[in-house]
Amino acid sequence: MRVVFDTNIFISAFEFGGVPRAALLLASAGWFDLCSSGALLAELERVLRDRFEYSEEMLGEIGIRLHGLCMVVEPTEEIAACGDSEDNRVLECAVAGNAEAIVSGDRALLRLDPFRGIRILSPARFLDEKPWSIRGED
């Protein structure tokens, strides 16, 4: 199963732990595949640098780990389903990566569930529903 994590999920996982970190650990353990894009990874790097003052060394380490964990896609379709362009980048990534789910804490994205057959779930709902186990991987 392919899943896209919104940038806010990675930030919450790194900074606050909890359910987003648990979801990231499941991806790291291979329960499902993560998809991301250059635009989403660049946004994550910018936010970690500007808002959380991550050093270039820390950002480099995170970049290496995420490039190893995620299938990085480059969307070709421009989507304008949300008023926020960053939300649209998440949708573009999910469509380009043939993802089955998006995990996000963003209400604007959550309201679109489902989008073109792609589930959009909060981290808690994602862990509760265990959509990866529907495929017999539980």
Give the residues across from 101 on adjacent strands: 3, 119
Which pLDDT score, from 0 to 100, does residue 138 have? 46
Q: What CATH architecture does domain 2-131 belong to?
A: 3-Layer(aba) Sandwich (3.40)
Give the residues across from 118 on adjacent strands: 115
Q: Where are the domains of the chain?
A: 2-131
Q: How far is CA 45 from CA 39, 112, 121, 133, in A?
A: 10, 26, 23, 31
Average pLDDT, consecutive stretches of 10 residues, N- to C-terminus, the chain (138 residues): 96 95 95 96 96 95 93 95 92 97 96 96 95 63
Strands 33-37 and 70-73 come out as parallel
Is residue 48 within 8 A of residue 78, CB to CB? The reply is no
